[in-house]
Structure 1
Amino acid sequence: MTVAVALLALVGAPPSEAKLEGKVVRLGGIYPITGKGAEWGEHSKIATDIALEEINAAGGVGGVKLEVVVHDTATEVGQAISLTRKLVLEEKVLAINGPCFSSEYEALAPLLDRLQIVIVSQCSSKPGLAKLSKWAFRNTLTSDKQLEPAVDVWKKRYKIKTAAILYDSADAVSAAEGAKILPVLLKKYGVEQKDILTYQTKDIDFSAQLTKIKSLGVDGIALGSCYQQAANIVRQARKLGLKQPFLAGACTGSPEFAKLVGDDGEGSIIGSAGWPDDPRPRNREFLKKFMERAGGKKPNYGGMRSYDNVYIMKQVIEKYGVTNKPGDLELDREKIRKGWAELKGFDGITGATGMDADGEGAGKSTVLEVKGGVFVKVEY
């Protein structure tokens, strides 16, 4: 599925540093609008639309209308690769927002040195992937960065001395969290790991794993899981009489998790890369616009960072002298790569962000707690 997103008429004059040609500045977007990651893709698309409307209403990019051509990867690696090639070779976009999932990103990044185009993920969080290519960037926080302060908060608040880990071995980020990140962090913060158990993404019955965890008598349960399975795990745990507090990261950081678990998840601690209820005025305005389009749902951090990514693209294009001339396409793509590599201190709705030497997002993690069916921010 292909959706070209370009909205509202242009007003205002271009910035002095921008000398853009043409009727449209065209970017690409590869989002998982269908498949297992549909919510993350839908939120990214909605947020992209909002940013485009705002930018174009204020004069576009250097006085030229901004467009993002969005393709649906269906959360499939092969789709992500073929659609990226289409955007680069046929649709001639300047840069690409996405992909979201780490499985897609990990397969795509090694191809970029040949394709020579920037990709910027809004939610891929498996550690170490951006260094696969100088063209690969991620405006998010890797799972280890998201989880570390959450582990510290969880341990101190609930006096956790022992824990079990349960993770989805079929999902790239969840598997990295469960097999590599959480064991290291638990050890670092003095929590004894009693056992590690796994499940598969499509599983719906977690009674065997939870019964084993119950027999261990641990103080807490740490999850490597996307929010749908995490919510099911929490609810089933309570039915089995487990009262331990839960800890989770990256893919559980959707506001839908807090809504789904309700009272069963009260007090759960989540490491995340954004908080939709940030009270700053710009965030409140974004949240209002988003919820109007999303049927009352709040954005996950992938949606929030997609919004920031469009604004960062605008800043980079204007600041680094992109011309938008067809004959300058390769040079313009290199200018955008340089702009992302040098990005520091961008003030977005997810806070101040920039890129480290590997092209990974650098900023402060957000620790969230489930209270009354919503996420509240925990200061640390």
Structure 2
Amino acid sequence: MRSQYFRRTIRLGTSLFVVVTLAFLLMIQSSVAETSGKSFKIGFLATKTGFGASWFEWGMPGLEVAQEEIKSLGGVNGVPVEFIVYDTATKPQEAIQMMQKLTYTDKVLAVIGPHTSSECEVVFPIAVRAKISCVGLLSAEPGISAKYRPWAFRNTLTSDKVYGPLVRKWATKNQVKTAAIIYDQKSAFTKADGEKVFPAALESAGVKFLGSVTYLTGDTDFSAQITKIKMWNPDGLVLATFGKEGGLIVKECKRQGLSVALVGSIDCNAIDFVRLAGSAADGVWTSHSFWPDNPDPKVQRFMKRAKEISGGKEADLTTARYYDCAMINYHLIKKMGVTNRPEDLDLDREKIRKGWETLEDFPGVEGKITINKDGDGEKSAYIFVIKGGKYQRVQ
């Protein structure tokens, strides 16, 4: 659907009025022509390499679907929207350098990314100083956006809003009375989940917390941690992990015969989790904001096209997140009247910031998206249990 910026009902009275009206329309046409051959530039901080490389692999088809749609819609008054993608290598220091390049060298209108909470913690201060909106992709640690208002946003449900309902339903359905937690103490996101968010969710659900064990990002041997957990004899185990390590952990549980109810973090929705865990993933509970089997025709069209672009891989949460963030920025460029003139860069950046701040019920493939007062996304969260390698929704 193309946006129509000027709707006027003209009643022809005098010839003078006609002349003035035509002159005004020619002025508008001339203004649009001045931007021909240029592009509306949006920065994108991605994780092409490093431990988050799989996020980029699964996310990029979503961005490509968005680019196709924006092109088919004629861009903005015939001017294309360009997404400048840089690799942070999933490292905070790299994220800083790429953010500075996008902001000061490329002079983009807004920035999508970075991915992790650790990256957001160092990139958001740059956004505040430069007065450019920056929208985290997967960061879910509570409180980060709120510290860097009004330029920091995250199109994510923070983990405290996801895990409470998830843990309560998981504990009830599996009759979990006691539980342990395993978490990655190197990552800010998983550390917050393991030390604060999940313990609070267990307490709220009436589950006794027996203790926790830790590891570091990139570890592959979890035999000692699972042996220790077995000694506690819990009813359930909480995985405050990224997808890769989480998959290996549940595989180790199966190898050691630790047969307990398992519930995992948001990132246990990552394709790597099921791929590495194999059949050991069956029965794991998790939750996030994207339902791939949503019967909404828009979602299914997106799933089909993303699968074609990726060479047959099913789209996941990250695919949807890349798509929605790109389409929201496109929507805001049009809605907020961004001119794209070099002399208006600061004003255009402020317009997009205001658009994100007031975003309400945007129809994304994740569902209706609203930004709350803390700069974080508000949207529906779905609960899933893995069966036969597939995420099945729990009603």
Task: Give the whole-Å Cα distance in 1 for the aligned partners of 2:243 and 2:368.
Answer: 26
SS of residue matched to 2:98: helix
Amino acid of the structure 1 residue aligned with 2:103: V
Q: CA deviation at 1:87?
A: 0.7
Task: Give the whole-Å Cα distance in 1 for the aligned partners of 2:45 and 2:385.
Answer: 31
SS of residue matched to 1:164: strand
Which residue, 226, 229, 245 being the options, matches 1:213?
229
Task: Give the whole-Å Cα distance in 2 for the aligned partners of 1:102 and 1:303.
Answer: 19
- 1:129-174 Cα shifts (integer Å, max 9, x gaps): 1112211111111111222221012111101000000001111211
Q: Does the 8 Å CA contact 2:176/2:261 hold for their aligned counterparts?
A: no
Task: Give the whole-Å Cα distance in 2 for the aligned partners of 1:277 and 1:69.
Answer: 31
Which residue, 139, 143, 154 being the options, matches 2:170?
154
Which residue, 132, 137, 140 being the options, matches 1:122?
137
SS of residue matched to 1:228: helix
The TM-score with structure 1 as length reference comes to 0.93
The answer as to 2:127 corresponding to 1:138 is no
Q: Does the 8 Å CA contact 1:162/1:192 hold for their aligned counterparts?
A: yes
Which residue, 250, 255, 259 being the options, matches 1:234?
250
Task: Give the whole-Å Cα distance in 1 for the aligned partners of 2:315 and 2:2.
Answer: 32
Which residue, 105, 109, 112 being the options, matches 1:94?
109
The answer as to 2:367 corresponding to 1:358 is no
SS of residue matched to 2:359: coil
Q: Does the 8 Å CA contact 2:46/2:87 hold for their aligned counterparts?
A: yes
Please identify the structure whose Cα radius of gyration is greater.
2
Task: Give the whole-Å Cα distance in 1 for the aligned partners of 2:102 and 2:251.
Answer: 42
Q: CA deviation at 1:13?
A: 6.1
Which residue, 203, 206, 210 being the options, matches 2:219?
203
Q: Does the 8 Å CA contact 1:149/1:271 hold for their aligned counterparts?
A: no
Q: Does the 8 Å CA contact 2:360/2:369 hold for their aligned counterparts?
A: yes
Amino acid of the structure 1 residue aligned with 2:214: T
- 1:86-130 Cα shifts (integer Å, max 9, x gaps): 111111110011111111011111222211111112211111111
Q: CA RMSD in A?
A: 1.7
SS of residue matched to 2:138: coil
Tell me whether 161-170 or 361-370 shows the greater mean CA deviation. 361-370
Alignment correspondent of 1:33: 48
Q: CA deviation at 1:14?
A: 5.1
Q: CA deviation at 1:266?
A: 1.3
- 1:11-31 Cα shifts (integer Å, max 9, x gaps): x96521698652311111010
Matches within 5 A, 1:1-380: 15-16=4-5, 22=35, 23-133=38-148, 134-379=150-395
Q: Which runs of 4+ in 1 moved over 3 A?
A: 17-21
Task: Give the whole-Å Cα distance in 2 for the aligned partners of 1:165 and 1:101.
Answer: 21
Amino acid of the structure 2 residue aligned with 1:15: Q
Task: Give the whole-Å Cα distance in 2 for the aligned partners of 1:361 and 1:14.
Answer: 25
Task: Give the whole-Å Cα distance in 2 for the aligned partners of 1:353 and 1:185.
Answer: 24
Amino acid of the structure 1 residue aligned with 2:80: K
- 1:47-73 Cα shifts (integer Å, max 9, x gaps): 112101111112112332111010011
Amino acid of the structure 1 residue aligned with 2:360: K
Amino acid of the structure 1 residue aligned with 2:153: F
Task: Give the whole-Å Cα distance in 1 for the aligned partners of 2:260 and 2:334.
Answer: 51
Q: CA deviation at 1:177?
A: 0.6
Which runs of no fewer than 5 residues in structure 2 stay unpaired? Answer: 7-27
The TM-score with structure 2 as length reference comes to 0.90
SS of residue matched to 2:343: helix
Q: Does the 8 Å CA contact 1:120/1:136 hold for their aligned counterparts?
A: yes
Amino acid of the structure 2 residue aligned with 1:46: P
Q: CA deviation at 1:292?
A: 2.2
Alignment correspondent of 1:6: none
Q: Does the 8 Å CA contact 2:157/2:289 hold for their aligned counterparts?
A: yes
Tell me whether 83-92 or 296-305 shows the greater mean CA deviation. 296-305
Alignment correspondent of 1:8: none
Tell me whether 305-314 or 157-166 shows the greater mean CA deviation. 305-314
SS of residue matched to 1:154: helix
Task: Give the whole-Å Cα distance in 2 for the aligned partners of 1:62 and 1:176.
Answer: 45
Q: Does the 8 Å CA contact 1:137/1:359 hold for their aligned counterparts?
A: yes
- 1:234-262 Cα shifts (integer Å, max 9, x gaps): 01111101111211112222133234323
Amino acid of the structure 1 residue aligned with 2:116: F
Amino acid of the structure 2 residue aligned with 1:93: V
TM-aligned CA distance change 1:235 to 1:325, over 3 Å: same
Q: Does the 8 Å CA contact 2:115/2:138 hold for their aligned counterparts?
A: yes
Task: Give the whole-Å Cα distance in 2 for the aligned partners of 1:299 and 1:232.
Answer: 22
Q: Does the 8 Å CA contact 2:99/2:126 hold for their aligned counterparts?
A: no
Amino acid of the structure 1 residue aligned with 2:262: F
- 1:317-360 Cα shifts (integer Å, max 9, x gaps): 11111111111000000000000000001111001111000111
